[in-house]
Structure 1
């Protein structure tokens, strides 16, 4: 294959892959979007002592991922510069413009970082029912660092 042919083939591959890279929506971008500002404000309404980064939805976040067999997407947002101890797992339903979450706070200790499930304090966001709480915890427990 000539050098020109290889370059052309590579450029076609990259052009074809570009939409996949461009399509990723990050969780914090969703919460800051015009469509989700009101649903997020409703989800956090009435919960006392929520940190500013939670109320605003502005933090370090992951791309949203589809949850198989459901209409939901899952993603996480954490406190900037302190992801290991303060983060949220969220589920959103784009059609219904609803969002639910669990804020997880851990004490600043080695033991809490090694086995977070034993030390976590949970704050439910968006008034999730028991089924939604279980779905959120399933997402949390899928993290290989969650023990």
Structure 2
């Protein structure tokens, strides 16, 4: 039992994400954000309320999601993770979301790849990117870097 505790403590210290980890046991997912805290809901509504033609799953952050990770950008800490409309359509429609630990800022990158793209065609060359929340260049780079972590993204 103490080994698990030591491992967890080391992971928390190394990750520099004790606040987020302690708050949600490291299991935060994008599709649970809006229901987990009213401040996240308010911040996200501020991001999407003036956007046009956003799909319902983006507006509501509903769909298939993986665990979020704590990352740092320009001295600020964020929870970042992917959201897909469905697990089956993830290569074609996905959203990479970043929310600040203080819950006051949220950014996202909507990535759309044409359906039916042949397997020998690189999704990166055919993707359309749409940024939400007016991210600066550093945040745009962070969101793109998260996308590159997907082994199916080349």
Query: Is the shorter-chain TM-score for this pair beyond 0.5, marking a shared fold?
Result: yes
TM bucket (normalised to shorter chain) is 0.7 to 0.9
Q: Mind listing any 5+ residue stretches in structure 1 that lack a counterpart?
A: 1-11
- Tell me which stretches of 4 or more aligned residues in structure 1 moved more than 4 Å: none
- 1:26 maps to which of 25, 29, 35: 29
TM-score (norm 1): 0.78
* In the alignment, structure 1 residue 35 sits paired with structure 2 residue 39: yes
The answer for unaligned runs of 5 or more in structure 2 is 8-20
1:35 counterpart SS class: helix
Given the alignment of the two structures, is residue 103 of structure 1 paired with residue 110 of structure 2, yes or no? yes
Show the counterpart of 2:11: none
Q: Deviations over 1:52-87 (max 9, x none)?
A: 000011111111111257511211111024222101
* Partner of residue 9, structure 1: none
Using the alignment, how far apart are the partners of 2:119 and 2:100 within structure 1? 32
Aligned residue pairs, count: 134
Q: What corresponds to 2:79 in structure 1?
A: 73
Measured in 1, the distance between the counterparts of 2:120 and 2:59 equals 24
1:122 to 120, 125, 129: 129
CA gap of 1:117–1:45, structure 2 versus 1, over 3 A, is same
The 1:125–1:113 alpha-carbon spacing in structure 2 relative to 1, beyond 3 Å, is farther
User: Would you say the 8 A contact 1:43–1:126 is kept in 2?
Assistant: yes
Q: Which structure is higher in helix share?
A: 1
User: In structure 1, what is the equivalent of residue 49 of structure 2?
Assistant: 45
Q: What's the CA shift for 1:31? A: 3.2
Provide the alpha-carbon RMSD of the alignment: 2.6
Larger displacement relative to structure 2 (114-123 or 65-74): 65-74
